[in-house]
């Protein structure tokens, strides 16, 4: 449960604080996608946010993968996801 809370906090932080950072990254690395991995229960909502972000920030790509909060944390530590 605790990992799920931190995942949600991280996603909200990304969406509130990160759009400028993601746009900068997209401008310098257009072929690369921002990878978001975590709890499947929040993946649908994060996918909606990702689509809206990509519509307003052309050239940006966000890939959302829903699995579990634990797998999301592992992917972050292993460098297989950014958020």
pTM above 0.75, yes or no: no
User: Residue 27 is part of which domain span?
Assistant: 2-78
| Residue 45 covered by a domain | yes
Cα gap 74→19, rounded to integer Å: 24
- Domain count across the chain: 1
Is residue 83, in this structure, part of any structural domain at all?
Answer: no
The answer as to whether 52 is a domain residue is: yes
Residue 4 or 35, more confident: 35
**pLDDT tens profile 39-83:** 888 888 989 999 999 999 888 899 998 888 888 888 888 888 887
Task: Dump pLDDT digits (tens) for 10-47.
Answer: 665 555 444 444 444 444 545 578 888 888 888 889 89
Report the pLDDT value the prediction gives residue 32, as an integer from 0 to 100. Answer: 77
**What whole-number distance in Å separates Cα of residue 81 and Cα of residue 33?**
10
Q: pLDDT value at position 22?
A: 45
């Amino acid at each position: 449960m605790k990992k799920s809370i931190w995942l949600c906090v991280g996603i909200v932080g990304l969406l509130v604080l990160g759009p400028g950072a993601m746009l900068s990254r997209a401008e310098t690395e257009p072929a690369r996608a921002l990878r978001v991995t975590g709890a499947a229960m929040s993946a649908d909502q994060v996918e909606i946010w990702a689509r809206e972000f990509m519509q307003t920030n052309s050239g940006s790509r966000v890939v959302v993968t829903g699995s579990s909060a634990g797998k999301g944390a592992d992917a972050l530590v292993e460098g297989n996801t950014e958020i």
